[in-house]
Structure 1
Amino acid sequence: MKTFTVEQICELLQGELEGSTRQIITGPEQLEYATSVQISFIGNRKFFPLWEKSKACAAIITNTIKGEPGEGRAFVRVKNADLAMAQLLELFMPEPPLFEHPIHPTAVIHPTAEIGKGSRIGAGCYVGPNTRLGENVTLYPNVTILDNCTIGSATVIWSGTVIRERCVVGDNCLFNLNVSIGGDGFGYRPSADGRGLVKIPHIGNVVIGNGVELGSGVCIDRGKFSSTVLGDGTKIDNLVQIGHNSRTGRFCMMAGNSGLAGSVTLGDGVIVGGSASISDHVTLGNGVLVGGGSGVMNDVPDGGKVLGYPATDAREMLKQWVALRKLAKEG
Structure 2
Amino acid sequence: MSYTIEEINDLLKGELVGHTTHKIDSPEQLQHAKTNQITFIGSSKYIKHWSDSKACAAIVNNNLTVEAGDNRALIKVKNADLAMAKLLELFNPKPPVMEHDIHPTAVIHKSAKIGNGCKIGANCYVGKDVILKDYVTLYPNVCVFDDTTIGSHTVIWSGTVIRERCIIGSHCIFHTNVSIGADGFGYRPSDDGAGLTKIPQIGNVIIGDYVEIGANSCVDRAKFSSTIIGDGCKIDNLVQIAHNSVMGRSCIMAGHSGLAGSVTLGDGVIIGGSASIKDHTTIHSGATVGAGSGVMNDVETGKTVLGYPAQDARDTLKQWVALKRLTK
| Range class of TM-score, shorter chain | over 0.9
Q: In the alignment, what sits opposite 1:84?
A: 83
The answer for the alignment partner of 2:123 in structure 1 is 124
Once the two structures are TM-superposed, the CA of residue 220 in structure 1 deviates from its matched residue by 0.6
Matched with 1:104 is: 103
Q: Deviation digits for residues 233-255 of structure 1, max 9, x if unmatched?
A: 00000000000000000000000
Q: Name the counterpart of 1:209.
A: 208
1:266 and 1:65 map into 2 onto residues whose CA distance is 36
Distance in 1 between residues matched to 2:320 and 2:196, nearest whole Å = 41
SS in 2 for 1:181: strand
Shift of 1:67: 2.1
| Distance of 1:125 and 1:177 partners within structure 2 | 14
Q: What residue is the counterpart of 2:183 in the other structure?
A: 184
Deviations 1:233-290 (A, max 9, x none): 0000000000000000000000000000000000000000000000000000001100
Q: Which runs of at least 4 in structure 1 moved beyond 6 Å after TM superposition?
A: none
Give a deviation string over 1:14-62, Cα, whole Å, max 9, x none: 0111111111110000011111000100111110111100000111111
Q: How does 1:27-66 map to 2 (within 5 A)?
A: 27-66=26-65
Using the alignment, how far apart are the partners of 1:130 and 1:295 within structure 2? 41
SS in 2 for 1:48: helix
**1:162 matched residue in structure 2:** 161
Give the aligned residue type for 2:125: Y
Q: What is residue 231 of structure 1 aligned with on the other side?
A: 230
Deviation at 1:201, TM superposition (A): 0.3
Q: Does 1:22 align with 2:21?
A: yes
Superposed CA deviations along residues 122-166 of structure 1, whole A, max 9, x for unmatched, are: 111010010000111111000000000000000000000000000
- TM normalised by structure 2 equals 0.99
Paired residue type of 1:277: S
Q: Cα distance, 1:203 vs. partner?
A: 0.1
Aligned residues: 328
- In the alignment, the residues of structure 2 paired with residue 297 and residue 206 of structure 1 have an alpha-carbon distance, to the nearest angstrom, of 25
Residue aligned with 1:189, SS? strand
User: Matches of 1:67 and 1:13 in 2, distance apart?
Assistant: 18
SS at match of 2:84: helix
How big is each residue's C-alpha offset from its partner over 1:176-233, in whole Å with a ceiling of 9 and x where there is no partner? 0000000001100000000000000000000000000000001011000110000000
Question: Over the residues paired in the alignment, what is the CA RMSD in angstroms?
Answer: 0.6
**Which residues in structure 2 correspond to 1:141-290 (within 5 Å)?**
141-290=140-289
SS, match of residue 74 in structure 2: strand
Aligned residue number for residue 140 of structure 1? 139
SS of the residue corresponding to residue 130 of structure 1 reads coil
Partner of 1:301: 300
**Matching residue of 1:323:** 322
Following the alignment from structure 1 to structure 2, what is the Cα–Cα distance between the partners of residues 292 and 303? Answer: 17
